Every structure is written in C-alpha cells, then in structure tokens.
Structure 1
Amino acid sequence: MSSNYICFSIIPSLCYCYFISAKIPEGIPRLISLLPIFYLFTILPLYFSSAFLTAITTFSITWLAIFKLVLFAFDQGPLIHNASNPKIISLPVFISIAALPLRTTFTPNPNRKNPMSSALQLVIFAVLMEIVLHHKSEIHPKLVLIFYSVMIFLMIDILIALSSLIVKSFLCLDIEIESPSDEPYFSTSLQDFWGRRWNLTVTHTLRFTVYNPVRLVLLNVIGRKWAQHSASLATFLVSGLMHELIFYYVNNGVRPSGEITGFFMLHGLCLMVEIEVKKALKDTLRLPGLVSGPLAVGFVVVTAFGLFFPPIIRNGVDESILEEVRFCFDFLKDKILQLVIFDKICNFGY
C-alpha cells in the first residue's frame, strides 16, 4: 500500500463519518458505525517506511482524529459547532479539524498572545538540528537532551503553523486556530505546565475524552476530590499509553518499555501532591513564580531525561527522524529558492 493511497484514504473515511455516521443517532449506535474508521486509522501508520511520517500520522490520525470522532459520536467536541444545540460543521472544516492537529474556535479571541513567530522557530529548530546531526559526539549527552526538549516544543508549534497555513491559505477556510502552546517555559507549577501551557491541543482533547467522563462517573462514588485526582491520573495514563503507541509504530514494533508511561504517571502523581500542598498552604507559604517556575520546568526536563527520551534514543529513532526532517527542510529550501529565482527572472523581463 503506497503512502499516497494511505493519505487519500483518510478523506473518504472522514466523508463517511460526515455523510453516513452523522445521520445515525448520537451515542453508542453512532460510535459503532465509526468502528471501521477507528480500525483503519489504527493500522495506517504500519504502512509508512518513514519514521517521521509514522510519528506524525500516529499523533494526528491514530490518536487525535480517533479521539475527536469519539466525541463526535456523542455530539461533543470540535467537530460539533454547538454542543447545547448540536450542529455539524461544513465538510471542508470537518475534514480539516479531524485530520489535522488543530485546536480551533469559532469565536475570535481578542486577548490572544503573540507567541514566538514561526519563522524564528524554524531558524532555531534548524540550527539545533544541524548542531545535533553534525556535532552530537562532541556535545555532552545532557545538553543534547536539552536540545531535544526545545526541538519537541518547536516541532509541535511548527506543525500547527503548517496546518494553519494549509487551512487558511490553501483551503481558504475561515476558522479561528488557537496556539498549540502558551509559552510553557514560563510555567509557574506542574499544574500550570500541564493544564494551561503545554501542548494544549492534546490537553483539551484528553480533558473531554478522558478527564470529564472519569470524573463524572466517580463523582458520586468516591467524592469530588478523589474523583478529580482519579480523573487526572487516568488522563496521564492514557497520554502515556498513546505516546507509547507512537514510539511502538516508530520503532517498527519494538515492545514498549513502559518508561514513557512511567514518566506521565509520575507527573500525574506529583501534580496530585502539588494541588493538595497548595490547598493546605493556601497563600501563606507559596513560593514566588520566579522560584517555582524554574523548579517545575526543571523537574519536567530532568524526569524526561530519565524516562521519556531513553526509548527514543535507544534504537536510534531520534537520528532517523532528524535526518528525514533535514531532508524536508532542504527540499523546501530548494523549492523556495527556485520560486524566488523564477520570480526575479519574470520581473527582469519587465
């Protein structure tokens, strides 16, 4: 099965969801009608030979698209215009939101912050990529991992920026696209980092597919406080398992070690402790943001060194992905240069 066939199979699948599944009553009946699509989206990454394309497909389609469609089955989530008065969005918008890792809103946000520009992010990413690819053996391993941490943040923002470009410039769709992150390096706590700043596309999806349902189910069983903590741990567990799935596909079926799930569960437990400590101390003995911020971000980075990155580095997947990304960068750079030269030649004639 060719990569082109794989990519183009996504659009007919989403058309089926739009024209057929949407006509089926919400709830379990509609969810059952979506099961063949879930199966297809789950096996799609197996047909890619590229580690980078496998990672992108697993993240965007096998994870986020399936979770969005689960919400769609119950008239919830970004594929429904208004949950209180369900109304399905137009087909181009439906396909774009389902297939791309976007966080959208249908009302403009006048208070939106201006994050680091995409051009600057591309430059920083390219510089770090060249340093790692050509001088990795000369750099301290811990510094390489710091570079990887920054590159993951930049890659997520760059992917969202490219998705936004596709939606707004090529498809000419008038939808408001939210920033994927909110300056996570300025986080003041773990709660702030995971809940309000880091990878908000995933955060919002997990909130509606995992956190809210688990909390509602357990609310009358174990009480409000423990229902919230249990829902939070369940959310981190699902996030860890989905990250394990991404690296399972990228590693060509190598058995997951569980380290990545351990990373997320550790943070789930630490977040639960942090929340209770803040409640106990109230505003009396809280650390100032200038102290708690670096501690929180530092804890994320250090624990990632020991649990998140080893499964990626162990089989050389990091280098494979970077080589493929560099190839994409060189290809785009050559195409842009050709367009610039062509434009100068055309203008010279006038």
Structure 2
Amino acid sequence: MFDIFSAIVKLILNNWIFQWFINCGPSDSYGKMAMFYVFLCTGTYVVDAQIALVRLVTRNKYTLESFNDVPFLSRSIREFWGRRYNRVVGSVLRESIFEPLRRLFSFSPTSAALASFVVSGLLHAHVSISVFGASSPLPAFTFFLLHGIACCAEAYCPIVLPKPIGIIVTHVFLLLTTPLYIGLFTRAGPDFFMLNAPSLLNVKWLPQLPVPNFCPK
C-alpha cells in the first residue's frame, strides 16, 4: 500500500511541477533548480507503481530495487550518491568501474570512487554537448568531479555532523553546485519540458494542484 500511495503522491507533485515549469521561461535561479530537484525525485512514481505491482502479483515474494531511497534525508554527499539517489546508475557504476578497479588494479576505495565520478562526469559532459548543445563540457564534468572530491574528503573526515545539520549542509552543497549541471535543464525552457512531458499528464481522474502564477526565483 505504501508504494501505491507513494506513486500517486509523486505523480501528482511531478505533474504539478511540470505544469509550473512550462509556464516559466528559462532560468538558472536557485529556486527553480531546487524545484527541479523535487521534480527529479518525484519522477520515480513509475518505479514505485512497478514495485507495488510485482509485490501484488508475487504476494510479497519478490520486489524491485527502488530508484531512490528518500534522497532528501541524505546527511552527507557520500550517503546521497552511494545509497539514496539514483541507485540504479550507482549500481552500474559500482559493478562496472568501482569493483573492477578494486579487484583488478588494487585501487583504494577512495581512488576507485573518484574514478567512478570521473567516468560519470565524462558521460554527463557528453550529454551536455549532444543534448543541450552546451558550448563547453567542462561545467558538467566539474559538477561530478567536485562531488567525487567531496565524497573522498568525507571518507577521511572524522567529524560526524548531527543528522539535521548534516542534511542541511549536504543540500546546501548540492544547491551551490547545481548550476554546473542542473542549470542545463532549467535554462532549457518550456520547449524542452514539452518534449519530455511526464506520462498521465492530463488525465481527468488525477487531482490537479493549482499552478502558481509566479516563477521560482
């Protein structure tokens, strides 16, 4: 039941943010990027629905791995990337980059993790050029390199922040670095979002939240 409820709530919020975005012009304001973060996190309603279906059909014998694990509760950058956000891609990078480097070349965990972020940065730099026509791949690559360095620094930092403070510090760092990559999406404008509209956007049975008449600043 929780997965069904989660899917419905995420679907409503995702459609609401989408409709808000298509009414706003291109912008890389921190407010809009914060909303895009929520848009990304709520876009996993399809996975939640699939999890509910698999559990129902198999009578809770089997399930699927969730795409995210409440990334808003991440108390560190390592926790955000390693256990909470985009777990599917995280598993792919772990199995294809991190573990082979550890096993075949005796990389330290820190070096292998940084190499994984470098590969991820190169992939996203390619996306920034091929999809968004960015003038330079460096900002997108720098975003993931900075996050890789932050994860490595955390591994050697003996200080463990209280959970509320850790969550705030983590998301301040995320917000301050998002213009390097997420800004590509928020600067793309309504045309990009219309080409990538969420499913079930205008179905009549879905509750519709009122769309604000202002844009995130």
TM-score scaled by length of structure 1? 0.50
Q: CA deviation at 1:242?
A: 2.0
Q: Residue 203 of structure 1: which of 90, 100, 118 is its match? A: 90
Q: Residue 172 of structure 2: which of 298, 310, 313 is its match? A: 298
Measure, in 1, the Cα distance between the counterparts of 2:199 and 2:137: 30
Whether 1:126 aligns to 2:15 is yes
Higher helix fraction (1 or 2): 1
Residue equivalent to 2:120: 239
Measure, in 2, the Cα distance between the counterparts of 1:319 and 1:180: 26
Q: Residue 185 of structure 2: which of 312, 316, 338 is its match? A: 312
Q: Residue 176 of structure 1: which of 63, 69, 72 is its match? A: 63
Q: CA deviation at 1:218?
A: 3.4
Give unmatched runs, 5+ long, in structure 2: 207-217
Measure, in 1, the Cα distance between the counterparts of 2:7 and 2:168: 25
Q: CA deviation at 1:114?
A: 5.6
Measure, in 1, the Cα distance between the counterparts of 2:9 and 2:3: 13
8 Å CA contact retained: 1:260, 1:308? yes
Give unmatched runs, 5+ long, in structure 1: 1-112, 220-225, 338-350
Residues 8-48 of structure 1: CA deviation (Å, up to 9, x unaligned): xxxxxxxxxxxxxxxxxxxxxxxxxxxxxxxxxxxxxxxxx
Q: CA deviation at 1:264?
A: 0.7
Measure, in 2, the Cα distance between the counterparts of 1:291 and 1:254: 35
Please tell me the residue identity of whatever aligns with 1:307.
Answer: L
Match of 2:108, SS? Answer: helix
Q: Point out the structure with max Rg over C-alpha.
A: 1
Residues 244-301 of structure 1: CA deviation (Å, up to 9, x unaligned): 33344423x66652211111110111111111012xx5xxxx3211111111122112
Q: CA deviation at 1:122?
A: 0.9
Match of 1:176, SS? Answer: coil
8 Å CA contact retained: 1:115, 1:183? no
TM-score scaled by length of structure 2? 0.78
Residues 89-145 of structure 1: CA deviation (Å, up to 9, x unaligned): xxxxxxxxxxxxxxxxxxxxxxxx8697111001111111122222458x9932111
Whether 1:214 aligns to 2:98 is no
Whether 1:150 aligns to 2:150 is no
Q: Residue 324 of structure 1: which of 190, 195, 207 is its match? A: 195
After superposition, the Cα gap between the structure-2 partners of 1:177 and 1:152, relative to the gap in structure 1 and judged at 3 Å, is same
Measure, in 1, the Cα distance between the counterparts of 2:112 and 2:198: 41
After superposition, the Cα gap between the structure-2 partners of 1:259 and 1:144, relative to the gap in structure 1 and judged at 3 Å, is same
The alignment of Structure 1 onto Structure 2 pairs a total of residues equal to 202
Please tell me the residue identity of whatever aligns with 2:169.
Answer: L
| Percent sequence identity over aligned pairs | 22
After superposition, the Cα gap between the structure-2 partners of 1:159 and 1:244, relative to the gap in structure 1 and judged at 3 Å, is farther
Measure, in 1, the Cα distance between the counterparts of 2:125 and 2:153: 25
Measure, in 2, the Cα distance between the counterparts of 1:288 and 1:227: 28
Residue equivalent to 1:289: 163
Measure, in 2, the Cα distance between the counterparts of 1:181 and 1:115: 15
TM-align CA RMSD: 3.2
Measure, in 1, the Cα distance between the counterparts of 2:71 and 2:149: 20
Measure, in 2, the Cα distance between the counterparts of 1:330 and 1:272: 40
Measure, in 1, the Cα distance between the counterparts of 2:157 and 2:198: 48
